Amino acid sequence: MNAPAAASRLSVPTKGEETRAAILEAAVLQASTSGYASLTIGSLAEKTGMSKSGLFAHFGSKEELQIAALDEASRRFTEQVFLPAMKAPRGLKRVRAIFDNWTTWPERAKLPGGCPVDQATREFQHQPGAMRDAVLERQRVLDRELSKSVQMAIDAGELAADTDPRQFAMEMIGIMLVFYRVQLLIGSTEAAERAHVAFDRLIKNHTR
Amino acid sequence: MNAPAAASRLSVPTKGEETRAAILEAAVLQASTSGYASLTIGSLAEKTGMSKSGLFAHFGSKEELQIAALDEASRRFTEQVFLPAMKAPRGLKRVRAIFDNWTTWPERAKLPGGCPVDQATREFQHQPGAMRDAVLERQRVLDRELSKSVQMAIDAGELAADTDPRQFAMEMIGIMLVFYRVQLLIGSTEAAERAHVAFDRLIKNHTR
């Protein structure tokens, strides 16, 4: 990192940056419960106590606001799920850490409506447009990063050599999706237990 | 069935019933691509070429229309996924038939936006109200019916006696959810192949 970049990263956020961050925090929370379609300049102005024109200065349109909210949600997902897992050694321990962090992150991030990245996928995957493109790009990145972690566990000899990392990653996502879904039906505790039973079985199938 | 009920089932649908069916067909199609939030009396009037007041005569409010569309979507899901599977003998063959029918039903029902029951769940599970209640009720029924089919396979000795039918059903739903999700990313053919790999492994784990 060169000196000016380092200096700018260490500097106190400007008033404008702080305002933008506050708007995005409110936007991610709202998107997680009520969906991105609910993110209008008007509703966010009301939630943040700002004027509509003040909000327009930061986000020129509803779509721009939605995309910025998804970016922020993705940043937080990475921060809460992947980054802490990097402290675990490469291999199965890291794959397990990702899975565990993933089950708990909406709660830790105080998002009672659940994962806001998942929400965006559910909402836009069948609606062509900029949000769907952003959602599919996020899925590609997730797919790639998960597969990489699985590949490392194969390289470390902790998963069988014939494990297909993309298949493993896909099944891991399936367990997570149904975990998110059944929480309301059977409660978080049983949902988490059942998700771990499924995940342990997935690992066992690939360790032999 | 008593005679009047049988007669009424065999009778030609009234004009009113036909209109209602046409509205609901358009509503399910629209919900599958654009979501139930898009189901306004106005948008449906436009799609069906009816007057708004004509639509109001059938559905008094947007919520009533949404719930009727979900009921219709659920009816079609049952008709396309569960009913044909009842022709297969009780046991693993029937469980497999449910799984296969499930992967193909949106296409067979000409719903390019994907499963409209899944869409309702994705859209409303975090929004308290009548639609969430309806969605959770649908999930409960699905859970119960799937678990029953799995139990029959256990009773028939085709799945191991210590198989937990609800765990099996939950994992089956997880595979289906990720199958629906990755279709856009990797294409329907690869998505279906990978879903079947996951499902075959699930069965193998419980047959020994």
Cα separation of the two ends of chain B: 45
Strand runs labelled E in A99-196 = none
pLDDT of A14 reads: 86
CA distance B181 to A70: 18
Rounded to 5°, the CA angle B156-B158-B159 comes to: 110
User: Do residues B80 and B109 lie in contact, with contact meaning Cβ atoms separated by under 8 Å?
Assistant: yes
What average pLDDT does the segment A110-116 reach?
Answer: 89
Preferred mutation among B138, B142, B143, B170 to probe A, highest tally of A CBs within 10 A: B170
* Tokens representing residue B139 in the block: 């999930």
- Whether residue B13 is contained in a domain is answered as no
Percent of chain B with pLDDT over 70: 95
Residues B9-52 have pLDDT tens digits of: 567 788 888 889 999 999 999 999 888 988 988 889 998 888 99
- Whether residue A1 is contained in a domain is answered as no
CB atoms A184 and B125 under 8 Å? yes
pLDDT of A139 reads: 94
pLDDT of A160 reads: 97
Residues A144-167 have pLDDT tens digits of: 999 999 999 999 999 999 999 999
What average pLDDT does the segment B116-133 reach?
Answer: 90
What average pLDDT does the segment A196-200 reach?
Answer: 97
User: Does A144 lie at the interface with B, CB-CB under 8 angstroms?
Assistant: no
User: Do residues A72 and A23 lie in contact, with contact meaning Cβ atoms separated by under 8 Å?
Assistant: no
- Whether residue A198 is contained in a domain is answered as yes
- Whether residue A68 is contained in a domain is answered as yes
Preferred mutation among B33, B40, B122 to probe A, highest tally of A CBs within 10 A: B122
* Tokens representing residue B183 in the block: 């279709």
What average pLDDT does the segment B198-202 reach?
Answer: 97
Q: Looking at the complex, report in whole angstroms how far the Cα of residue B172 sits from the nearest Cα belonging to chain A.
A: 9
- Whether residue B190 is contained in a domain is answered as yes
CB atoms A140 and B198 under 8 Å? no
pLDDT of A35 reads: 87
Nearest residue to B41 via CA among B21, B17, B66: B66
Total structural domains in chain A? 1
Residues A63-112 have pLDDT tens digits of: 999 999 999 999 999 999 999 999 999 999 999 999 999 999 999 999 98
What average pLDDT does the segment A164-190 reach?
Answer: 95
CB atoms A185 and B140 under 8 Å? yes
Tell me the ipTM for this assembly: 0.89
Q: Which parts of B3-125 fold into alpha helices (H)?
A: 3-10, 15-34, 41-48, 52-58, 62-77, 83-85, 92-108, 116-124
Q: How confident is the model at residue B8 (pLDDT cuts 50, 70, 90)?
A: low
State the residue range of the domain holding A188.
Answer: 7-205
B123 has pLDDT over 70: yes
Preferred mutation among A34, A103, A111, A125 to probe B, highest tally of B CBs within 10 A: A125
B1 has pLDDT over 50: no
pLDDT of B165 reads: 98
User: Do residues B59 and B68 lie in contact, with contact meaning Cβ atoms separated by under 8 Å?
Assistant: yes
CA distance A21 to A40: 17
Nearest residue to A83 via CA among A101, A110, A104, A69: A101
**pTM for this predicted structure:** 0.90
CA distance A46 to B161: 57
CA distance A101 to A105: 6
- CATH number of the domain enclosing B153: 1.10.357.10
- Whether residue B111 is contained in a domain is answered as yes
- Whether residue A2 is contained in a domain is answered as no
User: Does B188 lie at the interface with A, CB-CB under 8 angstroms?
Assistant: no
What is chain A's alpha carbon radius of gyration, rounded to the nearest angstrom?
19
Give the single-character DSSP code of A191: H
- Whether residue A135 is contained in a domain is answered as yes
pLDDT of A1 reads: 44
pLDDT of B54 reads: 87
pLDDT of B167 reads: 98
